[in-house]
Amino acid sequence: MNIASINIPESATAAQYPPIPEPNMLTEFFWEGIANHQLLILRCGSCGTYIHYPRPICPTCLSMDDLAPAQVSGRGTIYSHTTTVQPFHPYYVDKVPYNLIVVALEEDENIRITSNLIDFPNDDIRIGMPVEVTFQEVAPGLTLPLFKLA
Amino acid sequence: MAKRDRVAAIGVGYSTTGRRTGLNRRQLVAQAAKAAMADCGISPDQIDGVVLHAGVAGAEPPGLDWIDALDVAQMLGITPITFYNSDQGGPAYFHAAISAIAAIQSGQAHTVLTVRVINQRLSSAEERDSVQGPMRISGDSQFTMPFGSVTPIQTIAALPAQRHMERYGTTEEQFGAHVIAQRANAVLNDEAIMRDPLTMDDYLNSRYVSKPVRLLDCDYPVDSASAVIYTTEERSRDFAKKPVFVESAAASATDILPAGFEKLHDLNMNSPYHAAKTLWSRTDLKPSDVDCAQLYDGFTIIVFQWLEALGFCGEGEAGSFVESGATRLDGSLPVNTDGGACNVGRRHGANFCIESIRQLRGNESGARQVKDAEVAVWANATGPFSGAVLMTAD
């Protein structure tokens, strides 16, 4: 099984990188999409259900052969949010306070994406705000889907 | 569901409990189990089932030793047994309780010892400083941790609490009212660890961990083991203490397991609602019959979720219900009369069961005794998995 891994410099430290995704055969498409600046969500071709996190079977119709990544708009609304004050990982020691948002996607509000809202004051974030995806290389070799106000 | 023979809780016990006790799992389990057996005067040959829920919630310190239910049985001379379960999944102590209750109801065992052992996790600073080099994340967490979603305080507590506030108008002072009320109960409990009374200023000056969740909204990590012994109604009156009966019990799992709180259908109305609905469908009792409620307080928002789920107040109304004083010891529904896990330490659900049993025995809770308590409900966990048990006095 040849799975594209996210490559970072050998000299990298925990303080320079947030936890780094380790793609597997089910999730590789997602991170390849992010590297290409596309937000791809697994979708069932038989019944149209979006499936996130990626699974080998559609929970609506139990199709297994007809699942494929589909590009989504990257637009959605903030479902909830928090501003984290205490750093639980070395990367965040000099980044607190930072926000964490959960985005309900426009295509299906039950598809929720955890991310960060950029270029906006943490204290002014509110549920329901419209946002859209943007892709940022947060550290060399690591691109993440972040969000900005739409 | 047809009514089955009732299951009784007959013995309860705690280990030494505190911060970094130096005791490993085996020692803590032995202490708690022995205490529960002594509490009801049962001998090992009267027990034919053992359930152990072990494991640390969070990063595990070294040297704890690993044991399962069979080790527990062997160590305590409980042999032979016909039922055992060492499953670590699901909603903490409730998971052990429902396993024992189901085993007795089905006849796989007549008397079951349940134990929840949980050691103090590494502190967040210890955990953070132990990270060596860049961290690679597989599984579902690869979609959350790279964005800094790295602790349950964010996903289980902060995100639902924030949504509760913005959706229902819940205030930080209302969260504080609960924290202050249950601390007042802890002041009356010799076994509680946090026993200084709190004011609203104390609460509002407590530091944020992840907004709106403050340090005082989080349960207190300790080393602890808790044990409860269950048996059939038929045998239940042969022991030293007055039995307390399981009137109904309900487990629930909804949506995605085991991670992914942020992806739940609704951040505040999840498995507790389903569990509560099932719980009430299995009894003729109603929320208004309940004399005290012992509700899991891993984080304050979870108490609010259970108050609403169990029907003690309407959806979104937990904040004003708590603020009214209803959940204080002198209110219409005393909640967490032992002080809750924020104050007695993280027993991971077991203290709510044990406090219910003690309240219903009627003479063990001292100054925090709820007068004439005949019905108690306890609840454990939240989000995708949880459960609740309704108990009655003999």
User: Measured between CB atoms, does A83 come within 8 Å of chain B?
Assistant: yes
Residue with tokens 């249950």: B182
pLDDT of residue B259: 55
Residue B210 with chain A: CB contacts under 8 Å: 82-86, 100
pLDDT of residue B65: 85
The domain locations on chain B are 1-121+221-241, 151-219+248-394
Six-digit token string for B105: 């109801």
Could you report the per-residue pLDDT of B130-164, keeping only the tens digit for each?
888 899 999 999 999 999 999 999 999 999 999 99
Q: What are phi and psi of B185, to 5 degrees?
A: -70, -40
How would CATH label the architecture of B151-219+248-394?
Answer: 3-Layer(aba) Sandwich (3.40)
Residue with tokens 């079951």: B112
Residue B373 scores a pLDDT above 70: yes
Could you report the per-residue pLDDT of A77-105, keeping only the tens digit for each?
999 999 999 999 999 999 999 999 999 99
The domain defined by B1-121+221-241 folds into: Peroxisomal Thiolase; Chain A, domain 1 (3.40.47)
**How high is the ipTM of this complex?**
0.97
- Burial label, A135 (beta-carbon count in 10 A; 0-12, 13-18, 19+): middle
User: Measured between CB atoms, does B3 come within 8 Å of chain A?
Assistant: no
Residue B125 scores a pLDDT above 70: yes
Task: Kindly give the interhelix angle for B350-361 and B92-106, rounded to the nearest 10 degrees.
Answer: 60
pLDDT of residue B260: 66
Average pLDDT for B232-241: 97
pLDDT of residue B4: 63
- pLDDT band per the 50, 70, 90 thresholds, residue B1: very low
Contacts of B288 (CB under 8 A, 6+ apart): none
If you measure CA to CA, which chain B residue comes closest to A90? B128
Could you report the per-residue pLDDT of A30-72, keeping only the tens digit for each?
999 999 999 999 999 999 999 999 999 999 999 999 999 999 9
Q: Residue B99 in contact with residue B87, Cβ under 8 Å?
A: yes
Could you report the per-residue pLDDT of A2-27, keeping only the tens digit for each?
677 888 888 999 999 999 999 999 99
Query: What domains are defined for chain A?
Result: 20-71 (no CATH), 74-150 (2.40.50)
- pLDDT band per the 50, 70, 90 thresholds, residue B102: very high
Q: In what order do the strands lie in the sheet with A50-51?
A: A50-51, A40-44, A67-71
Q: Do domains B1-121+221-241 and B151-219+248-394 have the same CATH topology?
A: yes
pLDDT of residue A2: 64
Could you report the per-residue pLDDT of B188-236, keeping only the tens digit for each?
999 999 999 999 999 999 999 999 999 999 999 999 999 999 999 999 9
Could you report the per-residue pLDDT of B268-303, keeping only the tens digit for each?
888 999 999 999 999 999 999 999 999 999 999 999
B contact residues 83-142, partner A, Cβ 8 Å cutoff? 124, 127-129, 131-138, 140-142
Could you report the per-residue pLDDT of B3-47, keeping only the tens digit for each?
567 999 999 999 999 999 999 999 999 999 999 999 999 999 999
Residue B133 with chain A: CB contacts under 8 Å: 12-14
DSSP A18: P
